[in-house]
Amino acid sequence: MTADFTGWHVLAEFGGVDATLCDDLERLESALRESLIAAGVTICDVVHKKFDPQGVTVLALLSESHASIHTYPESGDIFVDVFTCGSIGAGASKAVELLRDKLSPKDVRMQVIRRGHGSQRIEEPVGAGLTRIWDLHEVIVDTHTPFQHMVIARTEQGISLFSDDDRQSTEFSQVTYHEAMMVPAFALAEKLEKVLIIGSGEGVASQMSVEAGASLVDHVDIDQLEVELCAEHLPYGYTTDELTAAVKGEGPIKVHYADGWDFLAEAAEAGTRYDVIVIDLPDERVEDAQHNRLYESEFLSRCRALLAPGGVLSAQAGCATMWRNETLKRSWNRFHEQFDTVVQYGSDEHEWTFLFGRNEQLADPVQTMTDRLPTLPYRPETVDARALVRGAIEPYSLRV
């Protein structure tokens, strides 16, 4: 038996099994034994119990852990539980599949649970009744900052960042995400000298702004620990040395550990104006959440007041998918209340929609963007003129 602390736990429910078979102790025990042996696991002992008036439990003690079946002849149902650990871990699934073939149920429900050192994962809620499972190959950071539960881990999409179980960025898709948020703003803005970024702790948005020609980037994030851990462990965005310089104000990027709401008030009092303002925070929640205030009308109005002539506000606005587009609808309505020109960009990664607002009314904002795109110092990897045209077509649900 291996010392590797990993395992597979298979929970199954067989329905529509012949009632006579469900009450046949000898056949059930034989079926379980044969399935386990064929799956390559080692049986140490088997015990059983025949109930009165009906029903059977068979329990096998394995070198690799245990297996059991418990039957309900009156309804033709059987509970199956097989747990195998170590190098033979996947044998649990094989054993249940072989047992299924021997008992011929009409209905099968099966759940496989990874346990032990190989079982780390994040369950990301993506909609009502829907969850995305992220398998974590290696957890690099797992900590509670003063503001969130933060995880950095290796996944199938490379080193990835999670906040309160929501994926924030991954090594695989972060360029697609950040360019969808930044490039349309660069192309829509009349000029690009001063940029304000609220959130976006990885630092990629700040770096893109400098590449696009900005001479000053104020990067505001309330969560200092998160920003520092991102710089230390993510292979994209700030390095630790770059972050240290930005905190000291050495260079075009200046990092401010502050509440975005408070920073806007200070900028307004100082008379500072920005050519692009970016709001890049964890998704707005359908339910009440503390950070929702940074998506709502008053906050957008404060941002709008700080825009220079021809300036653009960019905001991550949610998802266009019909079963989770409530926050996108909210943002769409708020932007149209605040701005005379509103453009959306639906990313190639279709979970992400970004909204862009200008105070001035433009006759053809998309044409403005496509004309300006080739003149930008920043050369996008994932956005071209055709993408801007396609991405600007808002979903039907926003137009009715």
The residues that are catalytic are: 65, 70, 85
Q: Which residue has the tokens 């080193």?
A: 159
Q: Distance between CA atoms of 45 and 30, rounded to whole angstroms?
A: 13
Q: Distance between CA atoms of 216 and 218, rounded to whole angstroms?
A: 6
Query: What does the longest C-alpha to C-alpha distance in the chain come to?
Result: 85
Phi, psi of 134 (to 5 degrees): -105, 115
Q: Which residue has the tokens 């829907």?
A: 130
Lookup: tokens for 203: 């630092």
Q: Are 247 and 255 in contact (CB under 8 A)?
A: yes
CA dihedral 136, 137, 142, 148 (to 10 degrees): -30
